[in-house]
Every structure is written in C-alpha cells, then in structure tokens.
Amino acid sequence: MVQITLPDGSQREFPGPVTVAEVAQSIGAGLAKAALGGKVDGKLVDTSYPIAQDAKLSIVTAKDPDGLEMIRHSTAHLLAYAVKELFPEAQVTIGPVIDNGFFYDFSYKRPFTPEDLIAIEKKMAELAAKDEPVVRRVLPRDEAVAYFKGLGEAYKAEIIASIPTNEDVSLYREGAFEDLCRGPHVPSTGKLKHFKLMKVAGAYWRGDHRNEMLQRIYGTAWSSKDELQNYLHMLEEAEKRDHRKLGKELDLFHIDEHSPGTVFWHPKGWTLWQQVEQYMRHVYNDNGYQEVKGPQILDKSLWEKTGHWDKYRENMFVTESEKRDYALKPMNCPGHILIFKQGVKSYRDLPLRYGEFGNCHRNEPSGGLHGIMRVRGFTQDDGHIFCTPDQIQAECTAYTTLLQKVYKDFGFTDIIYKVATRPEQRIGSEESWDQAEQALMEGLRASGCEFQISPGEGAFYGPKIEYTLKDALGREWQCGTMQVDPNMPERLDAEYVGEDGARHRPIMLHRAIVGSLERFIGMLIEHYAGALPVWLSPVQVVVTGITDAQSDYVQSVAKTLRDKGLRVETDLRNEKITYKIREHSLQKLPYILVVGDKEREAGAVAVRARGNQDLGVMPLQAFMDRIASDITAKA
C-alpha cells in the first residue's frame, strides 16, 4: 500500500507503486490533462515517475513556476529535434533554460540564417502538433558514450565521457530524436504551444575561446499565448527604450572604440549626470555622511592584504612605476579604511559614515560590455559605515528608509528586498553570524519591509541585503546593497578605543543606493523612455518665437527663466513654428514655450507640455510657478 499526501493535507491510498500521472488521473481528468510533472517530497519529476513508498506529492501544471521551467527545458529539446530534422549533419551540444526562455548550441558547417530560423520554428510547431510522447530511459555511462558516438554526436559523447564511470545517465526521446538530459520533461510535445525563436549568436564550446565557435539559437517559451504576446510586446518596448539608441538620439553620450567600456558624456548627458550626483550629495550631507575622496591608484601590497590581488587580479587594471606595482582601484572600501585609520577613533565617534563618488575600474571582458549599463570605468555613490555590532540594526533601518525615499524621488516605487545569509564556507563565529543576520532582518522589519531569504548567498565574511528595483516594463535591476563586513577592518588593522579602554575592531557596512551612476542613468533613460522628469531633464524649457520679430522677447523670457535656475534653450531659427515644435518634441523636452506678438504684448507665453499637450497661453509667472511645482514634487 502506498499513501500519497497532497498539498491540501488530504491523502490517497494505492495498492502498489503509482505514477504521478495516475495520481493526477485519480483526482480528475482535468488535472490529468494539465499535469506536466510532479514534486515528490520536494523533488521535481516526470509524470511517468513511479512512487513506490509513502510520499508528499504536488502536481505541477503550466500555472506553476516549475511547470514553466519544464516547458522551456522541453522546448529547447524540441528546437534541437527540429534542427536535426532539417539539418541532419548538425551536431547538438547543450540546451539550458535561461531567464524568459532557453538556448541550444549547435555545430554546423555554415551559419544559420534568419530564413533558417523561420523554417526551424515552423518545424517545431509541426513536431509539437504531433503530440509525440517524451520517454525517458537510463543507460550506463559507457554505453551512452558508445550510443552517441554511433549517431555521430561527438559533443554529446564528450559530455557523457566527463561523467564518472560508475554513474548511469538518463536520455529522453521524442519521435526520432533522443537527447542526453537529467530532466524532467513535459509528457508530450503537444504541451509545447507558445514559443518563438529570437536570434542566433556565437558561443565557444564549453565557454573556452580556444575551442570551436558554435551557433547558439535563442528562444522564448510561455504557458499561454497571452504571456508570449505580452513578453514580445515588452521586448518591442525595451528596444524603443534602449538607452544606447536614446543616448544617441538625445545627444547624451557615446561609447568609442578608443576607450572600450568607458563613457564620453556630451553636455546634455553630463547635465543629467550632475543632477543625479548633486541629488545624492545632498543625501550624504543630510544623513550624517562625511564626503571623502580616495586616490585612483593604490600599491599592490594593499590589494594583497585585502585579498583582491589573489582572487581578483585578472579583473584589475595594473601599472608599474619605479619598480613598484600598482592597480587602479576596482572598489573604494580599502581607501576608506585607510582614511578611518588616520588618528585614534573612539567608540564615541561611531557610527562614522564616509561617502564618496568613487571612480572605479574593472577589466570586464569586452563581450560583456553593454552601453553604459556594463562598463569598465564607473562611479559609485559609495558609502561605508564604521560601527559596533549593536549599531548594525539601527543603521540598516535608517539606510532602508533613506533608500526608499531616494528611489521614490527617481520614480521607482516597486522594490524587492532579499537577505543573503551565511554560505557554507565562511569565517567568524556562529554567534556573530546570528547577530548580523538578525540585525539586518530586524532593520528591514522596522522599515516596514517584507523580504525574501536567499540562503547561503552571503559573502564568506558576512550577510547582506540586496535591494532590487522594478522598472516601467517590470524588469528587475539589483541596485542597492547593505553588506556587513568584519573581515576587511581585520585585514587592514582598523580599530577603535572602546568604552572599556581596550582596542576593538569596527564592523564595516558597505552601502550604495544607486550603485554605478552610469548604470543607474541608463536605467533612468529606459524607465522613462528618454522622457525624463522635469527636475532631471538636461533641458527643461525651450523658448521659440513665431517670427524674427519676437527674438528680443524670446531672449528676455529665457533670461528670466535662467535667473530662476532653470535649464533653458532658445530657438531663433527662421523655420516654421510647426517644424520647430515637432523637432523639440522629438527631443522629449518637458516644455516648449511659443511666443508671438500677442504673447509679447501681454507678457505671456503659449505653453506646450510633453506629450503634445497644449496648455494654452498663461502669464510668464504662472508658468514659472507651474514648473517650480513640478521640480519640487520631482514630477
């Protein structure tokens, strides 16, 4: 007798071993039809999986996250099946699930074309319509190697040969195609209905540039037609909002091959940068941070003490002078400890908060660079708090409350909070980890935040909070951090005099709100599709006349606005007013002021707001009150 306990606590008994599919059928025909797999005592399995002893079971359908992952995994196999049907000489390698989809790498004699992708996707739909069963079997490792070698699949044979000899391997077959895979998979190809192939890219076999360049086909798969269409629509919107495209159209910045991975800021882009930096500088000043500035280049011996020279050397830019090795700093924290160590510090000085707009350099691989989002040279709103263990919770609460206000001012209100806890390999006592983790969690609770736990994802020296933003398209961006670190003060011999007169190590809290200013500005551009709020817009107002006769009044209005601290441009070109309005609208300016003879005589302006809104004629003072209100409200 086998007893199955379902998620609602109910139990069902079966006379002998029973499959997941049979349990689903016993509950109802609808569930049996929807079942993609099952979770047996927490383990994800196929519907054909036999349960031979008492177990807890939940049936997995397309509505579950696990079900969506199975759909994507199985669609990757369907892609490989279709490629082998159309291009029998192609060799298959690996095909994992990734965010929002999957990919599969192939070795083939010529590059796949866009027309090939169309044909492959059509073949996938045909194979899915056949509703062929997906069947699992297990072979001894050596037998599996021989099997794939016999098929001419050298890559699969190589993968299996790297598995220990005493292990069996599982294979999944659908129709004429069989692939190596741990599984689990959907029960039949008919479950795969909502997918689309996206693009082809190059990828080295096993990620090694010394190996053959393979062809990677990317695809996306979803549980329903609506989800697929929504995702494709989001991609279209993301393409329109691409910060690289908008950066060029709005004349904000450019990336140049003379300095890969760094940013050339144009006047308008640097104005935007300054708005972000000056805002964050006020955040420093208003919240007890002392702004500091450390050097760009630091001696190798310091990086050896921190451990970066051994573990991070390949990602550091190094130089030599007078037979001494130096590195451009990839982070600001060691410099802040050296500042902390100048002069004797007392417990009365703590918490001591340093802030820096620190320029850092990391030698990122060229293939990973992406506009201003992923660069080699970047500036952080970097802060470090030196405190006692008892002060961690209060600092975390204050920081989280501050971070929420900052994000709200920039237009981000949806924040995900995660606490990364102790990893298996770690230093420090269990008591110190308990205290640090509890302090972070209580700090979040005191700020009114619900949070997730990321077990084992903390650094080897301490736990951390990760603050992730959602943008206008629902995309997630990990920005803010609060990291507990007793390790670096220990390595660099930082100390303070306690109330007992003895020397103690401070706790160092690493914190950043926007993180990399470059990346954050890229996020802002994409979040607002280039139509930045008035307070951030590089140009807030353009003033233009209908004819040359209003030129003096145009200049007078512009001067009055500039005297109020507004960022204003004038357009005195001898062009049709409709042409000028259209051109400035494409630049996504918040306000266009048009003046003719009537406006000049009345001391007024005709106001057009972004989005083709005609606000009519108003006195100049009324407009100034309006835009001042926008700026104050961060609207």
CA neighbours closer than 13 Å in the CB half-sphere of residue 486: 16
Q: Is 333 annotated as a binding residue?
A: yes
Q: Is 243 annotated as a binding residue?
A: no
457-474 burial: b if 16+ Cβ within 10 Å, else e: ebbebbbbbbbebebeee
Contact 154, 91 (CB under 8 A): yes
Can you tell me the distance from the alpha carbon of 58 to that of 7, in angstroms, rounded to the nearest whole number?
6
Phi, psi of 464 (to 5 degrees): -155, 160
Kindly tell me the sign of the dihedral angle through the C-alpha atoms of 512, 518, 522, 524: positive
Can you tell me the distance from the alpha carbon of 335 to that of 331, in angstroms, rounded to the nearest whole number?
9
Q: What is the three-class DSSP state of 467?
A: strand
Can you tell me the distance from the alpha carbon of 160 to that of 143, in angstroms, rounded to the nearest whole number?
10
Instruction: Give the chain's radius of gyration (CA, Å).
Output: 30
Give the count of beta carbons closer than 10 Å to the beta carbon of residue 314. 7
Residues 6+ apart with CB under 8 A from 3: 11, 12, 13, 14, 54
Residue 511 is classified by DSSP as E
Active site members: 333, 362, 380, 382, 384, 464, 510
Show the tokens assigned to 351. 């918490």
Tell me how far apart the terminal alpha carbons of the chain are, to the nearest angstrom.
67
Q: At what angle do helices 392-410 and 430-446 cross, to 10 degrees?
A: 40
Give the count of beta carbons closer than 10 Å to the beta carbon of residue 302. 19
Can you tell me the distance from the alpha carbon of 488 to that of 420, in angstroms, rounded to the nearest whole number?
19
Q: What is the three-class DSSP state of 426?
A: coil
Tell me, what amino acid is at 126? E
* Helices and strands of the chain, counted as H and E runs: 20, 35
Nearest to 93 by CA among 186, 215, 192, 189: 215
Q: Is 360 annotated as a binding residue?
A: no
Alpha helices (runs of H) in 48-93, residue ranges in sequence order: 65-86
Residues 6+ apart with CB under 8 A from 486: 428, 432, 461, 462, 505, 507, 508
Residue 374 is classified by DSSP as B
Annotated binding site for Zn(2+): 333, 384, 510
Annotated binding site: 333, 384, 510
